[in-house]
């Protein structure tokens, strides 16, 4: 058996009494909510709403609420549509490498993977391409190898919060996020009165296992001294599940057979060390993350499996944030932030037998990424706050190609991005109306030219300068108590990533002739947030449309993928979600649905009017959770039962709409037991009904239906029924402090 990738989201959606909400406490003199800031809406929790995330977080215990505090804070801070999920202190069965599944169960989000826990996964928002979603870690852009972000390399071990911005993107997240932005917040918990320790053990099907340990403790004997967070964890799996192999001929069932997945294993080690706190008017956070991952690349579910293709990844990433408050306690006019990041990445892709790519390959890639962003936040007049920022990012990529047939030369590529942005938050009528105009300008300097005979075949790399403007405007209007209307629109631009230009890993072929894509987006809808006694309801509904010029679209070319520019494309749709809490959280029901209509409007007559590949028309996720807290000798004991349903409609592999990935419907069931809020035991069965095959009818007149594996991105099969169990223990002790 093998661990199913449809895992791990239960704990994120089921935050209630046993989960300690993590929110920075804001004293009366806190700069996060200046005196000129509007009051928090009545539907928000009693905590003040910070305008920007502080460089460290403080643990605050809450009673049994409805588990929506993080979402309400996000809604009050931004007039756009965003999903905020607290990850710290999870309660359910969730492996550390379950970030792709967690994101895929959010409204408007689609995740496509290569078929298993820890394998390559990419995020699409509202029908965007994966590259159109900008990913940030504590405000620092995460580019990965050549600009692509593999969600499988972003484990949950070190994360405390995830925010998904759909449509409207705040100015700090750049101008390239046509689809949206994903902001990952580190789990930095500073409680100067406690020393915290934690351990997690997990076991699952198909050789899956993990072990994690963490500690958080104050470093100085005073209540405002620095804190240290240390985490280390290992996760891995063999991935040898049974699947239906289509053989060498897709439409001839005579060579179909069942076999075990091979070369689908991975091992990952993650370490995180962070020091954070405050000193006078300064707040700071410095952290170092180290990721070392070894994995196999198994290949498609057709013909001979890849047995020797491997990918090794080593990443060292540093993130630092500093904030300086302006003014005095009598009236704080704002603050200054400095955000910096530094990352070094080394990958090695080996395909000695030519099983996956165009031929035998041994590619070494080294990437260096530097980021620096000063930001100034000022209170201008009553209800108005201005954010002025600049950022600079330098990327270097060194590719050392070996053994590739036909030969391709080594290359050194460099790119510098400079950005300037302004964002005004204007609150009127006692915060009933929130206006947010944004303007951003990006200048991109690329140095891609190489000497004759070097670089890719038919090398088109050249030095060039790109300029992009990204104006945006959003508004939130409170209609009645608990109901608000939101509207947003803007322009975006995105240059092709280094991966799209020059390829990587053998099975991804670059296209140096790509041009930057530009787009316009518009969305609008409603958010409903009601709380009555022991019942709460949170829901949203929004319509959206995006027009893209020169859309960069990945297309399959034999065993490889290659990006091309589509002259014009339009993606429109509708999304909705609802979360209902009954009996103070004993019963929790949640669901979200996304409808997509992605259309190719390009000039090719065979593709014009066809749906864009990799974007299912319908997606639905629903979950129900039932439990109750009992008192057993003054100790809280909470059993809980969780059921989930995940549906994705068919999607297509090719731009002509001929070859499809059939629809799938997966069920899951989990049992949890929480003792004294410190011991958490969970077991989850995924793909409950062992759905491994489905039928597909080729687009040929009279062709019979054929059996195909339940698969994801480009016919990479998904496992059948699997089990994942988690035991988490949390301990803390009082810290000694000077009075």
Q: Could you tell me the residue ranges of all domains in the chain?
A: 10-734
Strands 180-186 and 133-137 turn out to be: parallel
Helices (H) and strands (E) in the chain, counts: 4, 37
What percentage of residues in the chain have a pLDDT greater than 70?
A: 80
Rounded Cα distance, 250 and 244, in Å: 12
Which of the pair, 127 or 594, is modelled with greater confidence?
Answer: 594
Residue 66 confidence (pLDDT): 57
Residue 196 has pLDDT above 80, yes or no: yes
Mean predicted confidence (pLDDT) in 686-707: 83
- Residue located via tokens 């609802």: 578
Phi, psi of 326 (to 5 degrees): -105, 145
611, 617 contact by CB (below 8 A)? yes
- Of 177-191, 504-518, 536-550, 627-641, least confident by mean pLDDT is 504-518
Cα distances (Å, whole numbers) of residue 626 to 237, 573, 672: 31, 32, 10
What percentage of residues in the chain have a pLDDT greater than 90?
A: 33
pLDDT single digits (tens) 660-673: 788 889 999 999 99
669, 685 contact by CB (below 8 A)? yes
623, 656 contact by CB (below 8 A)? no
Residue 507 confidence (pLDDT): 60
Phi, psi of 294 (to 5 degrees): -125, 130
DSSP structure class, residue 167? S
Rounded Cα distance, 392 and 489, in Å: 25
- Residue located via tokens 């799938």: 664
Which tokens in the block code for residue 453?
A: 């005979």
The secondary element (H helix, E strand) that includes residue 498 is: helix 498-502
pLDDT single digits (tens) 308-321: 899 999 999 999 99
Residue 63 has pLDDT above 90, yes or no: no
Question: How is 305-342 classified by DSSP, letter by letter?
Answer: PPSS-EEEEEEEEEEEEEEEEEEETTEEEEEEEEEEEE
Residue 291 confidence (pLDDT): 92
Which tokens in the block code for residue 558?
A: 């034999």
Rounded Cα distance, 362 and 447, in Å: 25
579, 538 contact by CB (below 8 A)? yes
With the CA atoms of 183, 113, 408 and 512 taken in that order, what torsion angle do they form, in degrees rounded to the nearest 10? -50
Confidence band of 363 (pLDDT split at 50, 70, 90): confident
Rounded Cα distance, 351 and 357, in Å: 8
Chain Cα centroid distance, residue 445: 27
Residue 221 confidence (pLDDT): 65
Residue 425 has pLDDT above 80, yes or no: yes
Residue 653 has pLDDT above 70, yes or no: yes
Rounded Cα distance, 523 and 167, in Å: 7
Cα distances (Å, whole numbers) of residue 621 to 12, 194, 372, 438, 719: 14, 38, 38, 33, 19
Cα distances (Å, whole numbers) of residue 299 to 36, 160, 307, 506, 563: 58, 33, 9, 12, 19
pLDDT single digits (tens) 292-306: 999 988 877 677 888
- Residue located via tokens 């939101």: 486
Residue 338 confidence (pLDDT): 95
Cis peptide before 625 (omega within 30 of 0): no
246, 716 contact by CB (below 8 A)? no
Q: Which of 47, 120, 129 is nearest to 86 (CA)?
A: 47
Residue 54 confidence (pLDDT): 42
Q: Which residues contact 181 (CB under 8 A, 6 or more apart)?
A: 133, 134, 135, 136, 164, 165, 169, 170, 173, 174
Residue 116 confidence (pLDDT): 64
Mean predicted confidence (pLDDT) in 678-700: 87
Residue 37 has pLDDT above 60, yes or no: no
Tell me which of 1.10.1040.10, 2.60.40.790, 3.30.70.60, 2.40.170.20 is the CATH number of domain 10-734.
2.40.170.20
Q: What average pLDDT does the structure give for the chain? A: 80
- Mean pLDDT: which of 250-259, 359-368, 471-480, 712-721 is highest? 471-480
Rounded Cα distance, 657 and 303, in Å: 23
Residue 94 has pLDDT above 80, yes or no: no
The secondary element (H helix, E strand) that includes residue 10 is: helix 10-13
Confidence band of 100 (pLDDT split at 50, 70, 90): confident
Residue 644 confidence (pLDDT): 93
Chain Cα centroid distance, residue 684: 22
Rg (alpha carbons) of the chain, rounded to whole number: 25
Which tokens in the block code for residue 660?
A: 């499809």
Which of the pair, 412 or 115, is modelled with greater confidence?
Answer: 412
- Of 142-151, 242-251, 383-392, 645-654, least confident by mean pLDDT is 142-151
Confidence band of 519 (pLDDT split at 50, 70, 90): confident
Residue 627 confidence (pLDDT): 93
Residue 45 confidence (pLDDT): 35
pLDDT single digits (tens) 433-472: 999 999 999 998 888 776 665 555 555 667 778 888 889 9
Mean predicted confidence (pLDDT) in 89-100: 69
Rounded Cα distance, 117 and 710, in Å: 16
Residue 328 confidence (pLDDT): 62
Rounded Cα distance, 595 and 611, in Å: 13
Rounded Cα distance, 183 and 167, in Å: 14
Residue 61 confidence (pLDDT): 34
The runs of H, that is alpha helices, within 611-707 are: none
Which tokens in the block code for residue 195?
A: 């020393």
Residue 98 confidence (pLDDT): 77
Rounded Cα distance, 143 and 497, in Å: 9
Residue 358 confidence (pLDDT): 66
- Residue located via tokens 């041994």: 362
Confidence band of 40 (pLDDT split at 50, 70, 90): very low
Residue 717 confidence (pLDDT): 85
Residue 91 has pLDDT above 80, yes or no: no
Rounded Cα distance, 94 and 342, in Å: 29
pLDDT single digits (tens) 210-232: 999 989 888 876 666 788 999 99
588, 16 contact by CB (below 8 A)? yes
Which of the pair, 444 or 557, is modelled with greater confidence?
Answer: 444
Rounded Cα distance, 502 and 505, in Å: 11
pLDDT single digits (tens) 151-166: 877 777 778 888 999 9
Report helix, strand or coil for 591. strand
Q: Which of 328, 306, 233, 303 is nearest to 272 (CA)?
A: 233
How many residues would you count in the chain? 739
Confidence band of 44 (pLDDT split at 50, 70, 90): very low
Which tokens in the block code for residue 112?
A: 């496509």
260, 174 contact by CB (below 8 A)? no
Give buried/exposed letters for 481-504 (b at 16+ CB in 10 A, else e).
Answer: ebebebbbbbbbbbbbbbbbbbbb
């Amino acid at each position: 058996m093998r661990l199913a990738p449809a895992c791990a989201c239960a704990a994120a959606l089921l935050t209630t009494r046993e989960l300690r909400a993590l929110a920075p406490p804001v004293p009366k003199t806190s700069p996060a909510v200046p005196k000129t800031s509007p009051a928090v809406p009545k539907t928000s929790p009693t905590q003040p709403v910070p305008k920007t995330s502080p460089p460290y977080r403080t643990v605050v215990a809450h009673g049994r609420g409805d588990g929506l505090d993080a979402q309400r804070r996000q809604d009050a801070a931004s007039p756009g549509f965003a999903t905020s999920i607290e990850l710290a202190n999870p309660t359910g069965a969730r492996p550390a490498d379950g970030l792709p599944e967690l994101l895929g169960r959010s409204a408007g989000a689609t995740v496509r993977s290569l078929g298993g826990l820890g394998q390559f996964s990419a995020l699409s928002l509202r029908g965007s391409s994966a590259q159109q979603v900008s990913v940030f870690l504590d405000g620092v852009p995460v580019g990965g190898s050549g600009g692509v972000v593999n969600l499988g390399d972003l484990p949950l071990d070190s994360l405390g919060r995830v925010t998904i911005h759909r449509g409207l993107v705040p100015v700090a997240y750049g101008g390239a996020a046509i689809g949206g932005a994903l902001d990952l917040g580190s789990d930095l918990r500073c409680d100067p009165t406690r020393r915290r320790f934690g351990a997690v053990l997990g076991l699952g099907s198909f050789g899956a296992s993990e072990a994690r340990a963490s500690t958080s403790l104050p470093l100085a004997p005073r209540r405002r001294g620095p804190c240290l967070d240390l985490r280390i964890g290992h996760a891995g799996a063999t991935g040898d599940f049974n699947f239906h192999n289509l053989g060498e001929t897709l439409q001839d069932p005579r060579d179909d057979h069942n076999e075990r997945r091979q070369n689908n294993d991975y091992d990952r080690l993650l370490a995180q060390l962070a020091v954070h706190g405050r000193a006078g008017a300064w707040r700071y956070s410095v952290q170092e993350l180290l990721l070392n991952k070894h994995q196999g690349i198994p290949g498609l579910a057709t013909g001979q499996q890849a047995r020797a293709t491997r990918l090794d990844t080593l990443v060292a990433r540093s993130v630092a944030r500093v904030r300086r408050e302006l003014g005095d306690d009598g009236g704080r006019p704002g603050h200054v932030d400095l955000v910096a990041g530094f990352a070094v990445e080394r990958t090695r892709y080996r395909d000695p037998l030519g099983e996956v790519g165009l031929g035998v390959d041994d590619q070494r890639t080294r990437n260096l990424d530097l980021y620096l962003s000063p930001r100034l936040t000022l209170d201008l007049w009553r209800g108005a706050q201005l954010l002025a920022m600049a950022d600079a990012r330098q990327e270097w990529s060194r590719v050392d190609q070996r053994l590739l047939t036909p030969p391709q030369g080594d290359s050194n590529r460099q790119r510098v991005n400079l950005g300037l942005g302004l964002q005004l938050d204007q609150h009127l009528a006692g915060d009933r109306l929130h206006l947010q105009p944004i303007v951003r300008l990006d200048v991109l300097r690329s140095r891609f030219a190489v000497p004759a005979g070097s670089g890719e075949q038919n090398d088109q790399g050249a030095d060039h300068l790109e300029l992009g403007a990204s104006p945006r405007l959003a508004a939130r209007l409170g209609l009645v108590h608990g109901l608000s209307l939101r509207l947003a629109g803007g322009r975006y631009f995105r240059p092709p990533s280094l991966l799209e230009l020059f390829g990587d890993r053998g099975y991804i072929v670059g296209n140096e002739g790509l041009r930057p894509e530009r787009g316009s987006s518009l969305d609008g809808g409603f958010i409903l947030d009601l709380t009555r006694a022991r019942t709460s309801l949170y829901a949203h509904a929004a319509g959206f449309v995006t027009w893209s010029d020169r859309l960069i679209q990945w297309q399959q070319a034999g065993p490889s993928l290659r990006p091309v520019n589509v002259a014009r494309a339009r993606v429109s749709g509708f999304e909705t979600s609802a979360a209902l809490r009954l009996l103070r959280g004993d019963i929790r029901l949640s669901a979200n649905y996304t409808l997509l209509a992605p259309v190719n409007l390009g000039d090719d007559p065979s593709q014009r009017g066809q749906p864009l590949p990799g974007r299912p028309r319908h997606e639905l996720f629903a979950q129900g959770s039932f439990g109750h807290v009992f008192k057993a000798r003054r100790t809280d004991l909470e059993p809980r039962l969780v059921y989930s349903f995940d549906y994705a409609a068919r999607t297509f592999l090719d731009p002509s709409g001929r070859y499809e990935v059939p629809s799938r419907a997966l069920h899951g069931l989990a049992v949890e037991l929480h003792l004294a809020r410190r011991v958490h035991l969970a077991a989850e069965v995924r793909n409950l009904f062992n759905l491994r095959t489905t039928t597909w009818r080729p687009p040929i007149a009279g062709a019979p239906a054929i059996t195909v594996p339940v698969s994801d991105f480009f016919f990479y099969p998904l496992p059948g029924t699997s089990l994942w169990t988690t035991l988490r223990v949390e301990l803390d002790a009082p810290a000694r402090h000077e009075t």
